[in-house]
Amino acid sequence: MKLERSKLKARNRYKASVSQVRKLIILPVIIVLGALFFLYSISYADRTASLKGSSENEAPKNDVLDVSYTDSGAKEVRFHKTLPTAKGFISVGTCYTSDELKYQLLVVFFDSNFVEQWRFEFGDTGDEWAFDVVEDEGYIIVGVTGSKKYGVRGRYDVVVLKLDYAGKLQWYRLYSGPDWDRAYKIVKMPTGYALAGDNYLKGFDVSTNFGEHDFWLVAIDKNGNKLWDRSFGGLKWDRAYALTFVDDRNLLVVGGSSNSFSDGKRYDSYIVAYDLSGNLVWRLPLVIKNGSVWVTDLRTASGSIYAAGYVVEFVADGGRTNGVRPVERGFLAKITSAGKLEYFRVFGQDIRLHAFDLLEKSETHETFAVAGYKDVSGSKRPWLASVTIDVQGEISQNTVPTEMNYENNYGMFFDVQVVRNPKSLILSGKKLVNGKFVGILRRITF
């Protein structure tokens, strides 16, 4: 009997110990499951809070669509500009197809989901690039060609092409002097189109040249016939990178950099306005002390002209032999249609701004999307930010950008476009993936 009672006590102690162990195991499991459920609830709440509305068809805020575009045989693809259209997006750039053909001008049309619909290439054994595009009963594209097959008369000629909506070539025209001629921007105007870039020597289509490279503005009709051209510059290097049209004043406004009117070492920027007959209306220098200014983009809104680009400032650095080092920063400027500077704001550090667009505008502030690249430990990274400017402040005032994105891949954005409906940003550029440059397209929906 004593033996049975001892066995019973031992059995009870064993059950108690097992029960205690189970509690010790189950309790942490319950805690972990509870924590996971809590985190899931927060995550679910965040996801549902980010929706624009209750409709399943509406895109979430800050929804990002990325496209890396390449060709199996291409060593490099880049997109310089993507234009939103009613049926999708038209992207222009270049692709390095082979060592024999080199760079070919590239045009790709995507539907609204960035699925490729057609592709067009233009080029031969020289180099060809497309930089800008406008829509006008098809697509009018501006770029540069170096292939003798097309009748190039110098090292490079400006080329303008018209494609129909199916991507079929309607016509192309070349514009040049006897040496080096390029164009980066094209705009529509009442009498046709205008394109801006630079020329190197007088002759052929270049009616005037003041030194080495000059700003070059060329007006053409809707069939590509030259109407007139104008050069701006001095004895040294003057290059135009930006162009816009102010429709309520019928002004063509060109922007670029020049070292002809400085000490020759510093580059200043000039904004130059012409009427539709090519008469000079005004010019405005953008200058900073102890540095250079490079205009890369121009836009218009509500009769005002906006300029953007980057400055190169020299700051003290005791580790260098000359005691200074260059620092690149972005800038935004606002100009009246009469050529008066309203503000000039510098922001950021180690960034090169290639393009911008206006996001919001009010009586007290203006917000912009700015894009280009950021130098991170010596590597260029695609960079996007928003910048809000107090328009009631001083003309020169330091402004802090809000970074929206930069990546780990080497690369850069060349253009940004604001789409109003649905509100989104469209970015174009290139990045390095597995040792090869691919064209990048990014849509960010708010």
Alpha carbon distance 145, 167 (integer Å) = 19
For residue 180, is pLDDT > 90?
A: yes
Alpha carbon distance 205, 177 (integer Å) = 6
Tell me the pLDDT band of 54, cut-offs 50, 70 and 90: very low
Rounded to an integer, the average pLDDT of 359-388 is 94
Tell me the pLDDT band of 164, cut-offs 50, 70 and 90: very high
CB count within 10 Å of CB 164 equals 11
Q: Is 28 helix (H, G, I), strand (E, B) or coil?
A: helix
Flag whether 235 is in a domain: yes
CATH number for 282: 2.120.10
What is the average pLDDT score of the chain? Answer: 86
Question: Which of 171, 172, 226 is closest to 194 using CA atoms?
Answer: 226
Flag whether 122 is in a domain: no
**pLDDT at residue 316, rounded to an integer:** 79
Alpha carbon distance 211, 209 (integer Å) = 6
Flag whether 14 is in a domain: no
Flag whether 69 is in a domain: no
Residue 165 structural domain: 140-417
For residue 254, is pLDDT > 50?
A: yes
219 contacts 241 by C-beta, under 8 angstroms: no
Higher-confidence position of 362 and 193: 193
**pLDDT at residue 74, rounded to an integer:** 84
Tell me the pLDDT band of 26, cut-offs 50, 70 and 90: very low
Range in 51-60, 147-156, 273-282, 433-442 with the lowest mean pLDDT? 51-60
Tell me the pLDDT band of 428, cut-offs 50, 70 and 90: very high
Alpha carbon distance 150, 122 (integer Å) = 10
**pLDDT at residue 410, rounded to an integer:** 95
Question: Which of 145, 221, 140 is closest to 186 using CA atoms?
Answer: 140
Residues belonging to the chain: 446
Question: Which of 252, 336, 334, 242 is closest to 295 using CA atoms?
Answer: 242
Percent of the chain whose pLDDT exceeds 70: 83
> pTM for the complete prediction?
0.84
Alpha carbon distance 67, 71 (integer Å) = 13
Flag whether 390 is in a domain: yes
For residue 318, is pLDDT > 90?
A: no
Flag whether 126 is in a domain: no
Flag whether 125 is in a domain: no
Higher-confidence position of 248 and 400: 248
Tell me the pLDDT band of 101, cut-offs 50, 70 and 90: confident
Residue 46 class from Cβ within 10 Å (0-12 exposed, 13-18 middle, 19+ buried)?
exposed
**pLDDT at residue 394, rounded to an integer:** 62
Alpha-carbon dihedral 119, 124, 127, 130, rounded to 10 degrees: -30
For residue 10, is pLDDT > 70?
A: no
242 contacts 297 by C-beta, under 8 angstroms: yes
For residue 397, is pLDDT > 70?
A: no
Range in 110-119, 258-267, 378-387 with the lowest mean pLDDT? 258-267
Flag whether 34 is in a domain: no
State whether the Cα torsion 406-305-292-182 is positive or negative.
positive
Percent of the chain whose pLDDT exceeds 90: 71
Q: Kindly state the tokens that stand for 194.
A: 């205008």
**pLDDT at residue 207, rounded to an integer:** 96
Bridge partner list, 107: 92, 120
Q: What total number of domains does the chain contain?
A: 1
**pLDDT at residue 186, rounded to an integer:** 99
Alpha carbon distance 216, 276 (integer Å) = 15
Q: Kindly state the tokens that stand for 376.
A: 């991170």
